[in-house]
Amino acid sequence: MKYMLLFCRDQSRYEALTEDQRKDLHTRYHDYGVKVIKSGQMSSGEALQPTAMATSVRVRAGKRQLTDGPFAETVEALLGFAVVECENLDEAIEWAAAHPDAEMGVVEVRPVLSWSVD
């Protein structure tokens, strides 16, 4: 079964880190990426630009509304995602718990809805 892991981090906790702690965190992100890719279980994944680069789009009464920034006010911002093929939810949770953002924010695990066009 495919699971999407949504990596979210509390930016204020990241900004409070020293330069050495940030370098260590970035090394851990890299090591995680290498491990999940080499496992053969990741089918896709990407890191995202900061939320300051986001544009939110809404359509209300047929009119498009654009807002700079993320779609919702939140302490934990979405930083990236990975789609992993796992035997079960427990295995997906193991991948989520191994990601550094599980310590500085949250990693949301969601089963991917499989569908086809007939």
Range of the domain at 55: 2-111
117 lies in a domain?
no
Q: Are 42 and 4 in contact (CB under 8 A)?
A: no
Cα 67 off chain centre by: 21
Please report, for the domain that includes residue 15, its CATH number: 3.30.70.1060
Question: How many independent structural domains does the chain possess?
Answer: 1
Dihedral over Cα of 100, 43, 89, 70: its sign? positive
pLDDT given at position 76: 79
16 lies in a domain?
yes
Tell me the per-residue pLDDT of 15-28, one tens digit each, with 9 for 90 and over: 999 999 999 999 99
pLDDT given at position 51: 82
Going by C-alpha positions, the residue among 79, 95, 104, 106 that lies closest to residue 37 is 95
pLDDT given at position 95: 97
118 lies in a domain?
no
116 lies in a domain?
no
pLDDT given at position 71: 58
- Give phi and psi for 25, each to the nearest 5: -60, -45
pLDDT given at position 30: 95
Written in H, E and C, the secondary structure of 52-93 is HHCEEEEEECCEEEEEECCCCCCCEEEEEEEEEECCCHHHHH
In the chain, which residues have pLDDT < 50?
A: none
pLDDT given at position 93: 98
pTM of the model: 0.85
pLDDT given at position 117: 82
